[in-house]
Amino acid sequence: MTEDLAAPRRMQPGELEFTAPKRRKPPRHLADLTTAERREVVQSLGLPAFRADQVSRHYFSRLSDDTDSWTDIAAAQREALAQALTPSMMTRVREVTCDRGATRKTLWRLHDGALVESVLMRYPDRVTMCVSSQVGCGMNCPFCATGQAGLTRNMSTGEIVEQVVAGARELAAGEVPGGPGRVSNVVFMGMGEPLANYDVVLRAVRRLTEKSPSGLGMSARGITVSTVGLVPRIRQLATEGIPVTLAVSLHAPDDELRDTLVPVNTRWKVAEVLDAAWEYASATHRRVSIEYALIKDINDQAWRADVLAKRLRGKLVHVNLIPLNPTPGSKWTASRPEDEREFVRRLEAGGIPVTVRDTRGREIDGACGQLAAAQ
């Protein structure tokens, strides 16, 4: 299979569609399909359509991939159904934990050998799963570990949903300290640019929010889609009628600096990205989150905080400052504490709600594609 050996390529700034070399597709999984499509698959096996709903319930409600426990289905049919609807999507290569087990980062090997990461973070009041949507990323942001390797391929809806279900299984089984629990939040802040894999990500959001047996039954409000700022896709997302939280990775309030930190800015400027974000906020009534990684002496000057505050004033917005998680070999590092404090102070003085992201998982390279890069 020479196709599988094809070298990854980088997306050009502004390029929306995935055109990486063709490779073997991930196995089809029920999470890729609507309820009606699952029934068709089951009927094509010569089995009654309602079996599709039963298998879907085992997957989404019972979180079970163990066919022995599918006792409402005749034993002779279970294997064929599992092969058709719940094939193995990925295997756990490593799991590293910190925060006494409350933060767990998993490295997954996909069917074609590709490696991706997901992170489970348990807080007193919620559990957040951070998931990957692409193998690698084509956006080439110089401070991000994933950006350095380029884009290998898009992930499938099944591969995205399975990361969440795997976390849900760990929680349900009581493997995460704090007792049995549920996944309440999903953030598309793992590897990849979710809006560059738009249709697949949207389907994943639908599976996460639809009620069982169709999906996991989560609230859209608990789901955050984070983007470098692919303006046409932000506009499209605003029309979908799914009020997920939109996070925009701004990292600089001015085009001159943002052109270098988020190269896609050469295609869609700060003003256009923010306009699309405000359009999103008014269509969904959801507060937009502006992500801003604080990088020492690069984007953390007090005057930039003032410019940022001015650009955001009066909008349905909140700023999430992220102390830079330095990637191996990078010359950049996190801001000095006093500069971070001043940045926060200036934003607050400008009337902008601001939080500083906790640095969970930092000691396990929790943030940004570093585990896969190290492998």
* Footprint of ligand SAH (CB under 6 A): 137, 139, 141, 143-144, 189, 193, 226-228, 249, 291, 293, 322, 324-325, 327, 367-368
Q: Which of 130, 141, 144, 368 is catalytic?
A: 368
Nearest distance in Å: CB 323, ligand SAH: 7
Q: How far apart are CA 290 and CA 311, in angstroms?
A: 11
- Dihedral sign for Cα 328, 332, 337, 340, please: negative
Nearest distance in Å: CB 368, ligand SAH: 4
Nearest distance in Å: CB 228, ligand SAH: 4
The DSSP output letter for 27 is P
Q: Which of 117, 159, 170, 291 is catalytic?
A: 117
| Helical segments of 152-269, H only | 157-172, 198-209, 231-238, 255-261
Smaller CB separation from ligand SAH, 90 or 290: 290
Smaller CB separation from ligand SAH, 156 or 227: 227
Nearest distance in Å: CB 189, ligand SAH: 4
Smaller CB separation from ligand SAH, 144 or 205: 144
Q: How far apart are CA 153 and CA 138, in angstroms?
A: 9
Nearest distance in Å: CB 213, ligand SAH: 30
Smaller CB separation from ligand SAH, 108 or 143: 143
Q: In what order do the strands lie in the sheet with 127-130?
A: 90-98, 103-110, 115-122, 127-130, 185-188, 223-227, 245-249, 288-294, 317-323, 354-356
141 is known as an active-site residue:
no
Contact 198, 188 (CB under 8 A): no
Q: How far apart are CA 330 and CA 332, in angstroms?
A: 5
CA angle, residues 14, 242, 137, in degrees to nearest 5? 30
Cα–Cα nearest to 288, from 245, 239, 228: 245
Cα–Cα nearest to 60, from 144, 191, 162, 132: 162
Q: How far apart are CA 333 and CA 295, in angstroms?
A: 6
Pairing of strands 90-98, 103-110: antiparallel
Nearest distance in Å: CB 59, ligand SAH: 26
Smaller CB separation from ligand SAH, 38 or 251: 251
The DSSP output letter for 350 is T
Residues 6+ apart with CB under 8 A from 5: none
Nearest distance in Å: CB 11, ligand SAH: 11
Q: How far apart are CA 242 and CA 337, in angstroms?
A: 38
Smaller CB separation from ligand SAH, 30 or 295: 295
Smaller CB separation from ligand SAH, 37 or 297: 297
368 is known as an active-site residue:
yes
Q: Which residues participate in catalysis according to the annotation? A: 117, 368
